Amino acid sequence: MSILSKDLVAASATPLVLSILKQGDSYGYAIIQQVRELSDGEMEWADGMLYPILHRLEKQKLIQSYWGKAENGRKRKYYRLRAAGTNELSRLRENWQRVHAMLKKIEGVQPCST
Amino acid sequence: MSILSKDLVAASATPLVLSILKQGDSYGYAIIQQVRELSDGEMEWADGMLYPILHRLEKQKLIQSYWGKAENGRKRKYYRLRAAGTNELSRLRENWQRVHAMLKKIEGVQPCST
DNA sequence: TTGACATGCATAGAATTTATATGTATAATC
DNA sequence: GATTATACATATAAATTCTATGCATGTCAA
> What is the sign, positive or negative, of the torsion defined by CA atoms of B89, B90, B95, B98?
positive
The shortest C-alpha distance from B62 to chain A (Å) reads 16
pLDDT, residue A69, reads: 84
Q: pLDDT digit string (tens) for A31-80?
A: 999 999 999 999 999 999 999 999 999 999 999 999 998 877 788 999 99
Four-point Cα dihedral A71, A77, A78, A81, nearest 10 = 180
Question: Length of chain B, please?
Answer: 114
* Mean predicted confidence (pLDDT) in B57-66: 95
Q: How confident is the model at residue B112 (pLDDT cuts 50, 70, 90)?
A: low
Whether A96 contacts A19, CB under 8 Å? no
pLDDT, residue A63, reads: 96
What's the maximum distance between 2 C-alpha atoms anywhere in chain B? 66
pTM: predicted TM-score of the whole model, two decimal places: 0.89
Q: Which residue, among A1, A5, A114, would best test binding to B if mutated, counting the most B CBs under 10 Å from its CB?
A: A5
The C1' atom of C17 and the CA atom of B112 lie apart, in whole Å, by 38
Helix (H) or strand (E) holding A93: helix A83-108
Measured between beta carbons, the chain A residues lying within 8 angstroms of B24 are 111
Judge whether residue B2 has pLDDT over 80: no
Q: Is the CB of A24 under 7 A from strand C?
A: no
Q: Which nucleotides on strand D sit less than 7 A from a protein beta carbon?
A: 6-11, 16-21, 25-27
The C1' atom of D27 and the CA atom of A29 lie apart, in whole Å, by 61
Judge whether residue B103 has pLDDT over 90: yes
Report DSSP letters for A28-74, one per residue.
HHHHHHHHHHHTTTS----HHHHHHHHHHHHHTTSEEEEEEE-TTS-
Whether A85 contacts A57, CB under 8 Å? yes
Whether B17 contacts B31, CB under 8 Å? yes
Q: How confident is the model at residue A97 (pLDDT cuts 50, 70, 90)?
A: very high
Cα B97 from chain centre: 15
Distance (Å, rounded) from C-alpha B15 to C-alpha A54?
Answer: 29
